[in-house]
């Protein structure tokens, strides 16, 4: 697979989002199957793997650590920390550093490693100055425990302020053909400051695969039960988007998912999407998107076609939180 740079960090052009192996989308594979899927992804050329301490209460990190232990020095691992409101009483820089160092050590133990290449703040805590988090990240970089750091779902202003203290390696935020709000300010700031941009849900939680219809049912602890783009009426309303993707896919001998990822890769050379999948055929398909090359003319044609397609529904953290109140049936 081709590679790209997130600032100075070299990764596969398509990364692998590991969350779904442990939570988020209904029934998860058993441990051995999940390990085999991660190892299969590596065999397909993926060298960039994304996890977080919050994914299944650390179990996802442990899974990634076990699966990739034998190739640890050949892969780039990103994980994330979250500081919720009232997690710690004292937000002084030194206490913050102590708290973050402990979180990181716990993640490293689960990942079976002595460092992570990329350590994200999972969501920006508005009670803590981003400058203080950036300073603490700089200390962890100096200690060799992390090689770079990032933010998730942050604003252009938060990026600038943090970057001025300790340069950011990457920003991870939702971005896809169906969710483009970060094109207006965040992605331009990343380009200006030479920060990588890592889209999560680059296939809109699987919607852009074209495999979902209004008759598709989601059960159990599946985020698509509360993501509004999967409301039956929105699935039907968004059919023109899928029709557009199918049309371009046919001309490139590709799939709608591959066109969606190829569009993203063509847009900027510092964008590295991290689709997640629990099926070998999807992992293989997503990897193949790196080989789908769009000409400037084809890219412009896609953009023009998308400009007249209205998108219905979205994915919001507030909606995801509602999943906790739903029955697991």
pLDDT tens digits, residue range 183-221? 999 999 999 999 999 999 999 999 999 888 888 888 888
pLDDT at residue number 193: 98
Residues 25-68 have pLDDT tens digits of 888 999 999 999 999 999 999 999 999 999 999 999 999 999 99
pLDDT at residue number 90: 83
Cβ burial, residue 127 (10 Å; 0-12/13-18/19+): exposed
Per-residue CA distances from 217 to 157, 213, 220 (Å): 40, 9, 10
Between CA 35 and CA 190 the distance in angstroms is 33
Residue 324 confidence (pLDDT) above 80: no
Q: What's the whole-number average pLDDT of the chain? A: 94
Pairing outcome for strands 16-17 and 170-174: unpaired
Residues 57-104 have pLDDT tens digits of 999 999 999 999 999 999 999 999 999 867 787 889 999 999 999 999
> Looking at 55, 119, 120, 175, which residue is catalytic?
55
pLDDT at residue number 75: 98
Between CA 75 and CA 65 the distance in angstroms is 11
Residues 7-22 have pLDDT tens digits of 999 999 999 999 999 9
pLDDT at residue number 327: 55
Quickly state the pLDDT bin for 225 (edges 50, 70, 90): confident
pLDDT at residue number 210: 87
Which has more pLDDT, 328 or 89? 89
Q: Cα–chain-centroid distance for residue 57?
A: 18
How many other C-beta atoms can be found within 10 angstroms of the C-beta atom of residue 289? 25
Residues 264-301 have pLDDT tens digits of 999 999 999 999 999 999 999 999 999 999 999 999 99
Cβ burial, residue 321 (10 Å; 0-12/13-18/19+): exposed
Between CA 290 and CA 278 the distance in angstroms is 19
Quickly state the pLDDT bin for 326 (edges 50, 70, 90): low
- Topology of the domain comprising 3-207+257-292: TIM Barrel (3.20.20)
pLDDT at residue number 328: 54
pLDDT at residue number 25: 84
Residues 114-138 have pLDDT tens digits of 999 999 999 999 999 999 999 999 9
Residue 329 confidence (pLDDT) above 80: no
Active site residue 55: yes
Between CA 35 and CA 222 the distance in angstroms is 21
Per-residue CA distances from 232 to 210, 213, 314 (Å): 14, 8, 13
pLDDT at residue number 217: 86
How is the chain split into domains, by residue range? 3-207+257-292
Residue burial 294-313, b: 16+ Cβ < 10 Å; e: rest: beeebeeebeebbeeeebeb
């Amino acid at each position: 697979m081709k590679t790209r740079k997130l600032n100075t960090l070299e990764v596969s052009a398509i990364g692998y989002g590991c969350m779904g192996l442990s939570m988020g989308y209904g029934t998860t594979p058993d441990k051995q199957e999940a390990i085999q899927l991660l190892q299969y992804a590596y065999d397909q050329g993926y060298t960039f793997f994304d996890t977080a301490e919050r994914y299944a209460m650390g179990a996802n990190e442990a899974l990634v650590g076990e699966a990739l232990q034998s190739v640890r020095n050949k892969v780039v691992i990103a994980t994330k920390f979250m500081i919720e409101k009232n997690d710690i009483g004292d937000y002084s820089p030194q206490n913050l550093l102590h708290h973050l160092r402990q979180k990181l050590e716990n993640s490293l133990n689960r990942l079976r490693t002595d460092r992570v290449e990329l350590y994200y703040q999972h969501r920006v805590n508005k009670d803590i100055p981003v400058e203080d988090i950036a300073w603490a990240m700089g200390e962890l970089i100096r200690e060799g425990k992390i090689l770079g750091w990032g933010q998730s779902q942050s604003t252009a202003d938060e990026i600038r302020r943090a970057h001025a203290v300790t340069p950011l390696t990457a920003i991870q935020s939702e971005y896809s053909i169906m969710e483009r709000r970060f094109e207006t300010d965040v992605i331009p700031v990343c380009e200006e400051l030479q920060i990588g941009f890592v889209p999560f849900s680059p296939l809109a939680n699987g919607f852009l695969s074209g495999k979902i219809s209004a008759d598709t049912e989601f059960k159990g602890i599946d985020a698509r039960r509360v993501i509004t783009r999967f409301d039956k009426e929105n699935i039907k309303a968004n059919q023109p988007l899928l029709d557009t993707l199918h049309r371009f896919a046919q001309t490139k001998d590709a799939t709608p998912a591959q066109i969606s990822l190829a569009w993203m890769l063509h847009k900027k050379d510092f964008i590295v999407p991290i689709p997640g999948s629990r099926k070998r055929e999807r992992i293989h398909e997503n990897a193949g998107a790196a080989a789908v090359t769009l000409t400037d003319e084809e890219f412009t044609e896609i953009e023009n076609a998308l400009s007249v397609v209205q998108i219905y529904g979205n994915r919001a953290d507030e909606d995801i939180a509602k999943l906790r109140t739903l029955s697991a049936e």
